[in-house]
Amino acid sequence: MHHPVPTTSSRPLIHHTGFWYFPVAFVARLPFAMMTVGVLALVVSVRGSVALGGLTSAAVGIGVVIAGPVLGDLADRFGQSRVLVPTGLANGILLALFPLVVDSPAADGLVLASAVAIGLTGPQTAAMSRSRVMALIGDRIAPDRRERTFSRAMAYESAADETAFVIGPFVVGVLAAIVAPWAPIAAAAALSFVFVTAFALHPTGRVVPVASERGAMAPARELLRPRMLMLVVAVFGVGAFFGSTLTSLTAFMEERGAPEAGALLYGVMGVGSAVLALAVAVLPARFSLRWRLAIFAILLFASAGAYSVGGSVVTVTVVLCLMGIGVGPSLVTLFSLAGYRAPAGRTATTMTVLASALTLAQALSSAVTGAVAERASVETAMLFPAGAALIVLAMGAANLVHARRWDAAGPSSIG
- The mean pLDDT of the chain is 83
How many Å apart are CA 340 and CA 332, to the nearest integer? 13
How many Å apart are CA 61 and CA 357, to the nearest integer? 9
- pLDDT of 311 reads 81
Lowest mean pLDDT among 168-177, 221-230, 358-367: 168-177
Q: Which of 293, 354, 298, 291 lies closest to 323, judged by CA?
A: 298
How many Å apart are CA 118 and CA 114, to the nearest integer? 6
Judge contact between 414 and 287, C-beta under 8 A.
no
How many Å apart are CA 319 and CA 2, to the nearest integer? 48
Q: Is the pLDDT of residue 370 over 90?
A: no
Half-sphere exposure of 60 (CA within 13 A, CB side): 32
Residue 62 makes CB contacts below 8 A (sequence gap 6+) with 116, 119, 360, 363
End-to-end CA distance of the chain: 29
Which domains are present in the chain?
A: 17-409 (1.20.1250.20)
Q: What is the average per-residue pLDDT within 339-367?
A: 83
pLDDT in tens, 90-149: 999 999 999 999 988 888 899 999 999 999 998 888 888 888 888 888 878 888 888 778
Distances (CA, A) of 413 to 132, 147, 285, 287, 398: 22, 12, 14, 15, 18
The alpha carbons of the chain give a radius of gyration, in whole angstroms, of 20
**DSSP codes of every residue in 8-21:** GGGS-HHHHH-TTH
How many Å apart are CA 45 and CA 359, to the nearest integer? 23
The pTM assigned to this predicted structure is: 0.78
- pLDDT of 169 reads 74
